[in-house]
Amino acid sequence: MAGTTIRSAEVLVASPGRNFVTLRVMTEDGVVGLGDATLNGRELAVASYLTDHVVPLLLGRDAHRIEDTWQFLYRGAYWRRGPVTMAAIAAVDVALWDIKAKVAGLPLYQLLGGASRTGVMAYGHASGRDVPELLDSIRAQQAEGFRSIRVQTSVPGIDKVYGVAAQPSTSGRYDYEPAQRAPLPAEEDWDTSAYLRHVPGVFEAVRNEFGPALPLLHDAHHRLTPIQAARLGRALEPYDLFWLEDCTPGENQDALRLVRQHTTTPLAIGEVFTTVWDYQTLVREQLFDYVRSSVTHAGGVTALRRIVDYAAQYQIKSGFHGPTDISPVGMAAALHLDLAVHNFGIQEYMQHSAATDEVFRQTFTWADGHLHPGEEPGIGVTYDDDAAAHHPYQAAYLPFNRLKDGTVHDW
Ligand code: KDG
Ligand code: MG
């Protein structure tokens, strides 16, 4: 189709509050599609992969051939998988879906099978340096409309723990943004025994305050051995978590076999996974309950759809990754998939800053604990170049962990 031939593809790097990498594809007819290629702390690697190795391959291709383009970029490179490659492929995939839906005059979810629900239940982030501050943060999340809440807590004896906002932001929100703008990554500390001793009591306090019905989630962020994770899952059973996330490092799928033997706490994993192959054992042996991948890091809508369809055969649900390092473009694409797939579970929603929202104009709505991607043709996000020009890229890194004796530990 002549009019849908790809005329241009640009890689846009900007830092409105934090760094984002965006791919903008345009057809001969002037239809524009956006894709998110943000890889937190390694943004320029994906920008180069796209600019130097992918954009030249896109020019002149038919934007409608999404599947063929996906297979061409995945198989054609010979070097498969990995976060840089898959974020780049994801950006192309989402931009092409955006274009296809705009040409069809439909919101993307209609092309994915139409709505399976009226809205997308989303969870927010609460954290505190002590229990009173945590309870206050949960109340603040409820006031923002959240009906499901992730709970992260400081631990006595550890200086800085993942997921804990140091203080309420100026907007009154308890935001937690782990990437820090600095020439070198920040060093944090970790003590697994102190963490395991402390966390169950915190959940007891939260349940005592908010009762049994509030869905509560917790992210262990890859730090435990299988037996430690099993112990934590069992200790948290009285507090009926919606999920325990990333209890062990993601590379070892077999680890969850041991965890699963010991606890009925539901498990979520996959935010660092990049393909369906990372889920092969986990899904087949039903070792977990929620798929944590994002559209942005797992090869786009095309690939994430395959993962959740595979998971659906085993009653495993979606719980897509949605921190601030997933741009509004990646978030919007996820919402269309959330609305369409049958085995939707929950969507993470961390809310972007006002500066981010000025660059990425969005049509999705938030009401009563639910998101909706809106009815605009495409994914429903536009990119404001003028606003972005005020926010040039700034080097930023995720922190890393050391144990008390200096050993590097999983962050
Ligand atoms: O870039 C890393 C963050 O996306 C990650 O630390 C957030 O674990 C995370 C979560 O569950 O949102
Ligand atoms: Mg996580």
Each residue of 139-172: pLDDT tens digit?
A: 999 999 999 999 999 999 999 999 998 766 656 6
Q: What does pLDDT average to in each consecutive run of 10 residues of the chain (411 residues)?
A: 92 97 98 98 98 98 98 97 98 99 98 98 96 96 96 95 80 77 94 98 98 98 98 98 97 96 98 98 98 98 98 98 98 98 98 96 96 98 98 97 97 97
Given the CA of residue 245, which atom of ligand 1 is nearest to it? 11
Q: How far apart are CA 76 and CA 71, in angstroms?
A: 7
Q: How far apart are CA 301 and CA 337, in angstroms?
A: 7
Which CA distances in Å does 131 have to 207, 276, 348? 12, 39, 23
pLDDT digits (tens, 9 = 90+) for 37-55: 999 999 999 999 999 999 9
Answer yes or no: is the C-beta of 348 below 6 A from any ligand 1 atom: yes
User: What residues are labeled active site?
Assistant: 162, 221
* pLDDT value of position 168: 67
Which CA distances in Å does 178 have to 26, 186, 324, 369, 398? 33, 10, 9, 24, 6
* pLDDT value of position 409: 98
User: Is 288 within 8 Å of 282 (Cβ atoms)?
Assistant: yes
User: Is 334 within 8 Å of 347 (Cβ atoms)?
Assistant: yes
* pLDDT value of position 183: 92
Determine which residue's CA is closest to atom 12 belonging to ligand 1. Answer: 323
Q: How far apart are CA 73 and CA 79, in angstroms?
A: 10
CA of 29 to the centre of ligand 2 (A): 40
Please state the separation of Cα 279 from the chain's center in Å. 16
Answer yes or no: is the C-beta of 278 below 6 A from any ligand 1 atom: no
3-state secondary structure of 368: coil
* pLDDT value of position 172: 63
Q: How far apart are CA 344 and CA 89, in angstroms?
A: 23
Given the CA of residue 41, which atom of ligand 1 is nearest to it? 1
What's the pTM value of the predicted model, to 2 decimals? 0.97
Determine which residue's CA is closest to atom 7 belonging to ligand 1. Answer: 323
